[in-house]
């Protein structure tokens, strides 16, 4: 059987394109990337009366004209350029309630000259808003079939399927352009057409002419387009220069003609009966109110935060319980030894380290999907734009930044709500600096053990340090955004141009799909990295199994006559401690010591930091292992606290002091101590470049700040 034909599904943002995609295809969507770029390509099979087709969801855009490689994806996908399969048909989704906004894009797609069907979505909403549409007149004027649908209700989907089959079976000749370029622009298009034809193989004359116009409006001396033939680029620049010199405004010629046509035609298809104040207006009177709006916004954010922090806990507990059961299951079946330990700690533990993030990712995406589908996310950007823009962040960066206080991993994934790559990357690079909940047990242990209980202005120094660390992380994140946004991710200042869509009722199905998809993509794409890191960290602490200290202990223990069960347990912990101290990780700790000494730490902390790479809170249990107390210690463990207080340097002074604890916490606040965050960043940026940059800058910053604080403190006579 031949492969099913490709059908591209394109449209402006907020037209319900994804809902229509889901309605057409059922649930078996596949997710990959567009060739050569990390823009997600979602495609799935759909059934039509004429047989199956593969529907590909083209990223939403208001125009095909592009400035960046990301924006270029739309035109490449529609024309089958740059390694994309060429669609046999394009379905353009429009919002019936805002046709005049979406028609510009539809005209551009029709001009490409391949078969097009317009799917006018949200017919139900249009009816209730008193908008009457004459789709037949619209179809006659545009020269392409028009189908009215309500994707959420499933209305008109079968008619759309039938139309897809019909057009695929007997494609009509493309309609002529609705507008006629002036003589000068027509000369430009004719001159550029041969060079434009080089962008793809076997392009139709219509496609070539449309591409020539696309090139004329998209290319300039500083664009970031890819796969543009050098000849075409040179010719476009020459044409633009000549046009400027002739006093022509090419951009206006290309854009206004379409709008002139739309404005002239629209009246014949649309009847609007005047409606009383819309729901959206009424809701916005409250939700964008200077006082009530912000109060409600903060309230919603508190709920999201509460969900990530508290509601996720029972779910995470379940995951951990399941992993624990799996571990004991393995131990019951596999004979004790290296292999059993590998299976329980590295394999099952590694799977656990991946799955443990799923509850928070799923919960966060429930809220994000709700906020996006209702239209509230745009309001967040509207409310927060000015504040976030101060440090160069997008208004929508607020939600990921806030989520990062719970955990950076779902927060990194949440950056997806921003369209521009630079906005996403900048947010990703700084959000691990905010204090995530995994740092809390480490802070708790160090503060409880080492910060004096002094009371300052009625507040204990311990709480002040904790609050201080939260503030410190937040301020550093904002400063880092300002710096990175002006240096590494320096891009042109991109103006905000955003629609505030009408509020819509979200659909449980669409939210559920998004949540399931995001969770699955995390497991699929970040899982392997986390799994391998877990196994490596396990091996570092596990090997070698014996060393001189272990052997000496074993001899000493063997000399004890008939040890009690209690003694046996203590012996086992002692030996475990000795083994860990002599492990590869222990040796790495010793190697790291010269770098740790300047901020008052020793090799034992080094091993803890290494272990904490699996997850920050593992620092606590690794310290427990090193000190021969077993891995079951927690931040409240009295023996561990006592041990930290009583450790001595060779010269008899305390090993860990309030100052060294502060320096260590500052290090932990800033260092990129989390393989899972790195895995998530790798997943979202599609390579190692950005995770490596993040790790390097954060760790360097952490070290410099920790050393600075420690050395300054020593000069001032503390520690």
Residues interacting with another protein, by CB under 8 A? 62-63, 65, 67, 97-98, 100-101, 104, 217, 220, 223, 251-252, 255-256, 259-260, 263, 288-290, 293-294, 378, 381-383, 385-387, 495-501
Q: Give the pair of three-digit tokens for residue 159.
A: 């008619």
Nearer to another protein, 223 or 593 (CB): 223
> Of 64, 42, 37, 39, nearest to 55 (Cα)?
42
Nearer to another protein, 95 or 576 (CB): 95
Question: Least Å distance between CB 62 and another protein?
Answer: 6
Question: Least Å distance between CB 376 and another protein?
Answer: 14
Question: Least Å distance between CB 719 and another protein?
Answer: 44
Nearer to another protein, 373 or 617 (CB): 373
Nearer to another protein, 142 or 433 (CB): 142
Interatomic CA distance for residues 572 and 569, integer angstroms: 5
Question: Least Å distance between CB 279 and another protein?
Answer: 13
Burial of residue 162 (number of CB atoms within 10 Å: 0-12, 13-18, 19+): middle
Q: What residues contact residue 112 under an 8 Å CB cut-off, 6+ apart?
A: 78, 79, 90, 206, 207, 210
Question: Least Å distance between CB 60 and another protein?
Answer: 14
Question: Least Å distance between CB 300 and another protein?
Answer: 15
Nearer to another protein, 252 or 716 (CB): 252
Nearer to another protein, 123 or 480 (CB): 123
Interatomic CA distance for residues 19 and 6, integer angstroms: 19
Question: Least Å distance between CB 152 and another protein?
Answer: 19
Nearer to another protein, 261 or 365 (CB): 261
Measuring CA to CA, how many Å separate 611 from each of 140, 584, 586?
A: 68, 12, 10
- Our measurement of the distance from residue 379's CA atom to the centroid of its chain's CA atoms, rounded to an integer in Å, reads 20
Nearer to another protein, 258 or 581 (CB): 258
Interatomic CA distance for residues 343 and 337, integer angstroms: 10
Asked if 452 and 628 touch (Cβ cutoff 8 Å), the reply is: no
Nearer to another protein, 62 or 309 (CB): 62
Question: Least Å distance between CB 131 and another protein?
Answer: 9
Phi first, then psi: give them for residue 162, nearest 5 degrees. -65, -40
For residue 544, say if its preceding peptide bond is cis, omega within 30 degrees of 0. yes
Question: Least Å distance between CB 100 and another protein?
Answer: 4
Measuring CA to CA, how many Å separate 334 from each of 329, 340, 343, 347, 684?
A: 9, 6, 9, 13, 38
Nearer to another protein, 479 or 494 (CB): 494
Nearer to another protein, 198 or 500 (CB): 500
Interatomic CA distance for residues 702 and 440, integer angstroms: 17
Q: Give the pair of three-digit tokens for residue 266.
A: 């629209």
Strands 89-95 and 116-121: parallel
Question: Least Å distance between CB 182 and another protein?
Answer: 16
Question: Least Å distance between CB 255 and another protein?
Answer: 4
The 8-class DSSP code of residue 88 comes to S
Alpha helices in 119-201 (DSSP H): 123-128, 135-142, 157-169, 183-197
Question: Least Å distance between CB 290 and another protein?
Answer: 4
Q: Give the pair of three-digit tokens for residue 205.
A: 């004359």
- Our measurement of the distance from residue 271's CA atom to the centroid of its chain's CA atoms, rounded to an integer in Å, reads 42
Tokens 């951990």 correspond to what residue?
320
Strands 459-460 and 455-456: antiparallel
CA atoms within 13 A on the CB side of 411: 30
Nearer to another protein, 293 or 512 (CB): 293
Q: How far apart are the first and last CA of the chain?
A: 77
Interatomic CA distance for residues 366 and 376, integer angstroms: 13
Question: Least Å distance between CB 113 and another protein?
Answer: 20
Nearer to another protein, 100 or 158 (CB): 100
Max distance between CA atoms of the chain, in angstroms, equals 105
> Of 18, 22, 10, nearest to 102 (Cα)?
10
């Amino acid at each position: 059987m031949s492969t099913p034909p490709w059908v591209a599904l394109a449209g402006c943002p907020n037209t319900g394109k994804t809902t229509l995609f889901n309605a057409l295809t059922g649930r078996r969507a596949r997710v990959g990337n567009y060739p050569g770029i990390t823009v997600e390509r979602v495609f799935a099979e759909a059934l039509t009366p004429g047989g199956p087709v593969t529907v590909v969801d083209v990223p939403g855009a208001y125009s095909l004209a592009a400035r960046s490689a990301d924006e270029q994806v739309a035109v490449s996908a529609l024309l089958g350029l740059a390694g994309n399969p060429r669609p046999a048909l394009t379905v353009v989704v429009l919002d019936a309630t805002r046709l005049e906004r979406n028609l510009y894009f539809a005209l551009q797609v029709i001009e490409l000259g391949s078969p097009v069907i317009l799917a006018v979505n949200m017919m139900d909403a249009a009816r209730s808003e008193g908008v009457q549409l004459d789709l037949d007149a619209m179809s006659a004027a545009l020269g392409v079939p028009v189908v009215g649908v309500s994707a959420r209700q499933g209305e008109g989907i079968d008619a759309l399927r039938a139309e897809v089959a019909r057009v695929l079976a007997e494609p009509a000749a493309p309609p002529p352009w609705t507008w006629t370029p002036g003589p000068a622009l027509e000369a430009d298009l004719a001159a550029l057409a041969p060079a434009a034809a080089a962008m793809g193989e076997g392009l139709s004359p219509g496609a070539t002419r449309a591409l020539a116009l696309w090139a004329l409006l998209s290319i300039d001396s500083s664009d970031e387009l890819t796969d543009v033939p050098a000849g075409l680029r040179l010719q476009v620049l020459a044409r633009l220069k000549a046009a400027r010199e002739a006093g022509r405004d090419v951009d206006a010629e290309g854009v206004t003609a379409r709008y002139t046509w739309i404005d002239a035609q629209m009246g014949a298809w649309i009847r609007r009966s005047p409606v009383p104040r819309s729901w959206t207006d009424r809701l916005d009177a409250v939700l964008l109110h200077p006082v009530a709006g912000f109060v409600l916004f903060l309230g919603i954010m508190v709920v999201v935060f509460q969900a990530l922090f508290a509601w996720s806990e029972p779910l995470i507990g379940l995951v951990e319980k399941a992993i624990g059961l799996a571990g004991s299951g393995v131990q019951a079946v596999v004979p004790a030894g290296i292999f059993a330990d590998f299976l329980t700690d590295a394999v099952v533990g590694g799977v656990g380290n991946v799955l443990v993030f799923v509850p928070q990712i799923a919960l966060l995406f429930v809220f994000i999907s709700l906020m996006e589908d209702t239209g509230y996310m745009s309001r967040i950007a509207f409310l927060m734009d000015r504040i976030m823009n101060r440090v160069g962040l997008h208004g929508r960066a607020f939600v990921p930044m806030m989520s990062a206080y719970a955990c950076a991993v779902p927060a990194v994934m949440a950056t997806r709500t921003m369209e521009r790559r630079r906005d996403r990357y900048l947010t990703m690079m700084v959000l691990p600096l905010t204090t995530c909940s995994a740092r809390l047990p480490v802070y708790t242990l160090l503060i409880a053990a080492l910060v004096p209980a002094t009371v300052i202005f009625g507040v204990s120094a311990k709480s002040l340090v904790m609050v201080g660390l939260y503030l410190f992380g937040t301020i550093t994140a904002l400063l880092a955004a300002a710096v990175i946004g002006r240096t590494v991710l320096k891009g042109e200042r991109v103006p905000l141009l955003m629609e505030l869509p009408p509020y819509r009722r979200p659909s449980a199905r669409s939210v559920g799909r998004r949540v399931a998809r995001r969770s699955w993509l995390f497991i699929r794409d970040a899982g392997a990295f986390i799994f391998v890191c877990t196994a490596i960290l396990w091996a570092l602490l596990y090997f070698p199994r014996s060393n001189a200290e272990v052997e000496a202990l074993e001899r000493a223990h063997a000399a004890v006559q008939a040890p009690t069960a209690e003694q046996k347990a203590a012996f086992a912990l002692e030996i475990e401690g000795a083994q860990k101290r002599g492990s590869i990780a222990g040796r790495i700790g010793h190697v790291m010591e010269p770098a740790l000494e300047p901020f008052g730490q020793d090799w034992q902390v080094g091993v803890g930091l290494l272990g904490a790479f699996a997850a920050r809170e593992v620092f606590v249990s690794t310290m427990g292992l090193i000190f021969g107390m077993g891995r079951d210690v927690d931040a409240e463990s009295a023996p561990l606290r006592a041990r930290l207080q009583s450790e001595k340097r060779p010269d008899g002074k305390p090993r860990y002091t309030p100052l060294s604890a502060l320096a260590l916490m500052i290090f932990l606040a800033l260092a990129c101590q989390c393989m899972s965050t790195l895995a998530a960043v790798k997943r979202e940026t599609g390579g190692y470049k950005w995770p490596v940059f993040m790790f390097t800058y954060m760790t360097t910053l952490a070290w410099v700040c920790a050393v600075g604080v420690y050395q300054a403190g020593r000069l001032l006579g503390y520690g």
